[in-house]
Amino acid sequence: MSGWESAHVDELDALRVAGVVWRPVRRRFDIRAFGMNAYTAEGVGEQIVEEHDESNLGHQEVYVVVRGRVTFTIGDETLDAPAGTLVFIRDPSLRRVAVAETGDAVVLAVGNAPGKAYEVSEWEERFWASAHPEA
């Protein structure tokens, strides 16, 4: 092994769960230091990041719009986010959701709880199991 790997986001598993298309980056590379996932759109107007908050885990999150354009709703505020936009959500209790404004939209999400060693989230195992019921 050379100590590194690469993959294009379109080569990652595309799993339809919780109303979004989840691309499990962390799982693909066996990342153990932080949570990282990508999400792609199935069409304009579809959720690309499901509505949720991180109150139960205390995670801060950064979303990066890699391709396309999305609209984030964070708490009561709305943000138009074209490719290249970074959105940092410091307060885990804020509700957030993102909707694809273009069919090619890709959002990368990175997060963890401040000051804590990373642990794989329960939701990730649940998402994986729901997408692979035969496993």
Residue 61 in this model has a pLDDT that exceeds 90: yes
Phi, psi of 8 (to 5 degrees): -80, 145
Q: CATH number for 12-114: choose from 2.60.120.10, 2.60.120.260, 3.90.550.10, 1.10.10.10.
A: 2.60.120.10
Rounded Cα distance between 5 and 21, Å, is 23
At residue 38, the pLDDT reads 98
Mean pLDDT, rounded, for 71-85: 98
Q: How confident is the model at residue 131 (pLDDT cuts 50, 70, 90)?
A: confident
Average pLDDT, the chain: 94
Q: Give pLDDT tens digits for 33-56.
A: 999 999 998 899 999 999 999 999
Percent of the chain with pLDDT over 70: 98
pLDDT for the residue 10: 94
Burial code (b: 16+ CB inside 10 Å, e: under 16) for 76-98 equals eeeeebeeebebebeebeeebbb
Length of the chain equals 135
